[in-house]
């Protein structure tokens, strides 16, 4: 597959940037676009992708481009010989999506339609689409296989993913040249082990790990846990957290599948670990790793919250030869390293720590309970 | 409601033009747009809407405009004080939608999103959306109430309708200013009793009544009926045919509902008669009315065809004070009058008959079996 050119939408985002590392290391050329809706730019340059180049020693071709700008997308496809596409770009905040549905439908659906048209017009038919376990709605059975019904989605963000999956399925039925894989992500967390790239939402922090980290750093007073009397091991909701680098390698596996199976048409794979962890598990592991206290407050269950969700990962294992390798401890370690090396995310002027992984500016007292992860604090084992 | 201005998308189409008659007669001002994707233009003027003006003696403001042209839509909203919108414009051929899904999703979804943005930016929040019984998929029970599950749709066209319904529901939840009614049409047939406007597809004839008419006129050799051993009265599939003028009056009822119930947010109503007719019923009634033979050929059932579908119309009756008044005989009479007065649809140079409703150019021998509908052939009773 070396030498093939992958067009990556949303390349400067959390998942996109980590995926670029894996793509470059697998020998692909990367042409990435981003509109910086939820990523950091420095005078039109994607800070995350500069770091990706630093990690890999390889160049990324980058364009600031909004997929709503049909002509610009088309022009980039005309300028490069694109072999395949990974489509991450989307608005993705669940709560916000309920408040701004028109913006979400517009951005996610029209952006995708423009992309598909550009692909078609340049005879590029290999696509990996960034879907979500949201498409399953409230699970009817666990673990969730790819056969689980979809469509009974509980939020607008997830509905845009479901609609796009349906569009892609219809497209692949209408013309066998299309070769499409939708990857249904469970809960991506963690960061690249270098600490150079990670999740840096430019909008209000909503995802669980950045939120836990912001509490650990004293930027937020506590984590609120809604419901502790569910029928789960510790009573709190459980999720299938997956290390971002495992997720990234899943995309490389999907791309290889597309390129070796030309009559695939349309396939769907779960990307998860198959293991369920509670919010409390995550908080406790994060405390262990960070030596910081993460206070939490228990509140009543919220109507509509999904209690328990984790993947059956058999299909991806059998057909993509892929499986997740990192555990929650490693996810927390890598996230904490990113967080401490970049206390203000990509806006930090320098990547700096005080040597033990604790950022210079933390005013809270580190929380040590004797449960050190290993001798050198949060330093991760090599590789991933 | 008199004096209010309604923006009608797809106004030159079959349903749009008939609805314009009812709107004008109810005292609304009409601003209509159409891109002539499936309607006839004469130098930028919509032939159907010229006829609507002739029928009603009232003017229609018309713009040739594609809803994909966001700026143009916005400009029209800026030029007029639009009070409410009826959104018909859509690609609608079921078979074609499976072959050209990207075109269908693009046209129907992006067109709707552009329209909603134009509405929002001009503080226009009252919308009647043209949906379809397609959203129900293969019925789980009959007659179909509005509570019947949606989403398990069997074709791309229907999926665009379902997606838009979901978008509208989300939109109305996000902002109580939105006041939206989706009308789920069953099978609209027939024509205005004047014979001046009717269904004139510019694409290959697919809908049942134009197809039957083209067989009656000798343009097609026969109607093919797929499956005559279904569990229905005569073994062929049954549908809920509704007269186009009943459908049109349903839109006026919906508009009144929106304007009298400002906190409606989002509601859905079936527009059907509640009566099931088979394809054979329709053919036989058409023969009676037209005095022409309509040969048919029976073939095997087709996989995926829906056997039986008809509406429970209680909700529209109770909440909109609306119900269908015309039977299948009347649907056939009115359609045949339109067909004979306009043998080439809107492209006919003059509206002309030989006095007994049979067009001048028919070369087939009229089929008379003694079952004349009434003394003056196909002439309809006054009014509707």
Show Cβ contacts of residue B79 under 8 Å, excluding neighbours closer than 6 positions: none
Give, as one character, the DSSP assignment of residue B122: T
**Rounded to an integer, what distance in angstroms lies between the CA atom of residue B110 and that of residue A109?**
8
Helix residue ranges, H only, A43-155: 47-56, 70-79, 94-99, 101-105, 111-121
**Structure tokens of A69?**
């700008």
Contact A82, A7 (CB under 8 A): yes
Tell how strand A238-239 and strand A277-278 pair up.
antiparallel
Q: How many residues does chain B have?
A: 384
What residues of A are in contact with residue B120 (Cβ under 8 Å)?
Answer: 102
pLDDT at residue B189 in the model = 96
Q: Say if A170 is an interface residue toward chain B (CB within 8 Å).
A: yes
> Mean pLDDT, to the nearest integer, of B133-153?
97
Site of tokens 């509109």:
A35
- What are phi and psi for residue B263, nearest 5 degrees? -110, 30
CA B306 to centroid of chain Cα atoms: 20
Site of tokens 């790990």:
A209
| Interchain CB distance below 8 Å, A170 and B101 | yes
**Rounded to an integer, what distance in angstroms lies between the CA atom of residue A310 and that of residue A187?**
9
| Interchain CB distance below 8 Å, A100 and B167 | no
pLDDT at residue B380 in the model = 28
**CA angle centred on A314, ends A309 and A315, rounded to 5°:** 105
Angle at which helix A279-290 crosses helix A208-216, to 10 degrees, equals 40
Q: What is the pTM of this model?
A: 0.91
Instruction: For residue A323, give Cα distances in angstroms to A144, A267, A320, B337.
Output: 16, 17, 9, 67
Q: In this model, does residue A305 exceed pLDDT 90?
A: no
Contact B33, B76 (CB under 8 A): yes
> Mean pLDDT, to the nearest integer, of B58-81?
98
Mean pLDDT for all residues in chain B: 90
Q: How many residues does chain A have?
A: 384
Contact A145, A270 (CB under 8 A): yes
pLDDT at residue A258 in the model = 97
The reply to whether A105 belongs to the active site is no
Show Cβ contacts of residue B375 under 8 Å, excluding neighbours closer than 6 positions: none
> Mean pLDDT, to the nearest integer, of B198-207?
79
**Rounded to an integer, what distance in angstroms lies between the CA atom of residue B236 and that of residue B225?**
8
What residues of A are in contact with residue B304 (Cβ under 8 Å)?
Answer: none
A contact residues 89-108, partner B, Cβ 8 Å cutoff: 98-102, 105-106
**B128-146 in b/e burial notation, b at 16+ Cβ within 10 A?**
bbbbbbbbbbebeebbbeb
% residues pLDDT > 90 (chain B): 81
**Structure tokens of A23?**
């793509």
Provide the pLDDT confidence category of residue B142 given band limits of 50, 70 and 90.
very high
With H, G, I as helix, E, B as strand and everything else as coil, classify residue B382.
coil
Q: Which of B157, B162, B185, B266 is catalytic?
A: B157
Measured from the Cβ of residue B174, the count of other Cβ atoms closer than 10 Å reads: 18
For chain B, give percent helix, strand, coil, nearest 5.
40, 15, 45
| Interchain CB distance below 8 Å, B100 and A151 | no
pLDDT (tens digit per residue) in A352-379: 444 444 444 433 444 433 333 232 222 2
> Among A207-211, A285-289, B318-322, which is the least confidently predicted range?
A207-211
Provide the pLDDT confidence category of residue B200 given band limits of 50, 70 and 90.
confident
**Could you tell me how many CB contacts below 8 A there are between chain A and chain B?**
66
pLDDT at residue A51 in the model = 97
**Rounded to an integer, what distance in angstroms lies between the CA atom of residue A232 and that of residue A372?**
27
**Structure tokens of B82?**
């639009």
Contact A186, A260 (CB under 8 A): no
pLDDT at residue B205 in the model = 67
Compute the nearest-CA separation of B138 from chain A (Å): 16
**Rounded to an integer, what distance in angstroms lies between the CA atom of residue A379 and that of residue A333?**
7
With H, G, I as helix, E, B as strand and everything else as coil, classify residue A310.
coil
Instruction: For residue A369, give Cα distances in angstroms to A279, A284, A292, A306.
Output: 20, 11, 9, 32
Contact B104, B157 (CB under 8 A): yes
pLDDT (tens digit per residue) in A132-181: 999 999 999 999 999 999 999 999 999 999 999 999 999 999 999 999 99
% residues pLDDT > 70 (chain B): 89
| Interchain CB distance below 8 Å, B171 and A102 | yes
Among B109, B113, B151, the residue with its CB nearest the CB of A151 is B151
pLDDT at residue A237 in the model = 93
Show Cβ contacts of residue B381 under 8 Å, excluding neighbours closer than 6 positions: none
pLDDT at residue A274 in the model = 98
pLDDT (tens digit per residue) in B321-370: 999 999 999 999 999 999 999 988 898 755 554 444 444 444 344 443 33
pLDDT at residue A367 in the model = 43
Give, as one character, the DSSP assignment of residue B3: T
Q: In this model, does residue A380 exceed pLDDT 80?
A: no
pLDDT (tens digit per residue) in B96-120: 999 999 999 999 999 999 999 999 9
Instruction: For residue B371, give Cα distances in angstroms to A268, B213, B284, B344, B363.
Output: 58, 18, 11, 27, 22
Among B38, B40, B118, CA closest to B77 = B118
pLDDT at residue B374 in the model = 30
Q: In this model, does residue A382 exceed pLDDT 50?
A: no
Among B13, B57, B84, B53, CA closest to B244 = B13
Compute the nearest-CA separation of B174 from chain A (Å): 5
**Rounded to an integer, what distance in angstroms lies between the CA atom of residue A116 and that of residue A187?**
26
Among A100, A109, A113, the residue with its CB nearest the CB of B174 is A100
pLDDT at residue A350 in the model = 53
Reported in sequence order, the residue ranges of B219-326 that DSSP labels E, i.e. its strands, are 223-226, 238-239, 241-243, 266-271, 277-278, 296-299
Q: In this model, does residue B373 exceed pLDDT 50?
A: no
Among A217, A171, A168, A242, CA closest to A15 = A242
Contact A53, A31 (CB under 8 A): no
Instruction: For residue A316, give Cα distances in angstroms to A146, A257, B131.
Output: 10, 11, 38
**B226-247 in b/e burial notation, b at 16+ Cβ within 10 A?**
bbbebebeeebbbbbbbbbbbb
What kind and span of H or E run contains A85? strand A84-87
What kind and span of H or E run contains B34? strand B29-34
**Rounded to an integer, what distance in angstroms lies between the CA atom of residue B89 and that of residue B66?**
9
Provide the pLDDT confidence category of residue A347 given band limits of 50, 70 and 90.
confident
DSSP letters spanning A88-115: ------HHHHHH-HHHHHIIIIIHHHHH
pLDDT (tens digit per residue) in B216-232: 989 999 999 999 999 99
What kind and span of H or E run contains A80? none
ipTM: 0.89
Nearest CA in chain A to B68: A110
Its sign, for the CA torsion A61, A67, A68, A69, is: positive
> Mean pLDDT, to the nearest integer, of A111-116?
98
Name beta bridge partners: B41. B46
Site of tokens 């079921």:
B94
Contact A70, A114 (CB under 8 A): yes
Its sign, for the CA torsion A346, A349, A352, A357, is: negative
What residues of B are in contact with residue A174 (Cβ under 8 Å)?
Answer: 98-102
Instruction: For residue A40, give Cα distances in angstroms to A20, A336, A346, B198.
Output: 16, 20, 7, 56
pLDDT at residue B351 in the model = 54
What residues of A are in contact with residue B116 (Cβ under 8 Å)?
Answer: 102
**Structure tokens of B249?**
């009056």
Instruction: For residue A162, give Cα distances in angstroms to A114, A137, A141, B164, B166.
Output: 18, 10, 19, 13, 12
pLDDT at residue B270 in the model = 98
Mean pLDDT for all residues in chain A: 90
């Amino acid at each position: 597959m070396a030498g093939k050119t992958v067009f990556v939408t949303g390349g400067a985002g959390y998942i996109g940037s980590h995926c670029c590392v894996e793509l470059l290391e697998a020998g692909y050329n990367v042409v990435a676009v981003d509109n910086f809706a939820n990523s950091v730019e420095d005078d039109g340059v994607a800070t995350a992708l500069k770091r990706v180049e630093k990690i890999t020693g390889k160049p990324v071709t980058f364009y600031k481009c909004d997929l709503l700008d049909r002509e610009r997308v088309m022009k980039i496809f005309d300028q490069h010989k694109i072999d395949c596409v990974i489509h991450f770009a989307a608005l993705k905040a669940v709560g916000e999506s309920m408040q701004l549905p028109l913006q979400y439908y517009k951005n996610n659906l029209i952006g995708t339609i423009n992309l598909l048209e550009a692909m078609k017009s340049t005879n590029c038919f290999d696509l990996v689409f960034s879907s979500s376990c949201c498409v399953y709605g409230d699970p009817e059975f666990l673990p969730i296989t790819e056969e689980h019904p979809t469509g009974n989605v509980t939020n607008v963000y997830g509905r845009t993913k479901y609609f796009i999956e349906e569009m892609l399925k219809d497209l692949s039925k209408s013309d066998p040249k299309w070769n499409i894989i939708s990857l249904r992500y469970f809960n991506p967390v963690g960061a690249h082990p270098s600490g150079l790239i990670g999740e840096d939402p430019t909008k209000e922090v909503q995802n669980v790990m950045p939120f836990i980290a912001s509490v650990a750093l004293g930027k937020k007073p506590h984590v609120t846990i809604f419901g502790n009397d569910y029928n789960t091991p510790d009573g709190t909701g459980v999720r299938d957290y997956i290390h971002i680098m495992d997720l990234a390698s899943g995309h490389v596996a999907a791309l290889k599948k597309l390129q070796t199976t030309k009559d695939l048409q349309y396939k769907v794979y779960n990307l998860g670990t198959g293991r369920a962890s509670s919010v409390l598990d995550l908080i406790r592991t994060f405390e262990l790793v960070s030596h910081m206290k993460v206070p939490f407050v228990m509140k009543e269950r919220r109507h509509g919250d999904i209690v328990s969700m984790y993947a059956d990962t058999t299909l991806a294992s059998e057909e993509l030869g892929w499986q997740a390798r990192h555990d929650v401890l490693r996810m927390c370690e890598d996230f904490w390293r990113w967080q401490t090396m970049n206390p203000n995310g990509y806006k930090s002027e320098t990547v700096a720590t005080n040597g033990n992984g604790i950022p210079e500016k933390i005013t809270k007292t580190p929380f040590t309970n004797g449960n050190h992860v290993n001798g050198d604090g949060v330093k991760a084992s090599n590789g991933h």
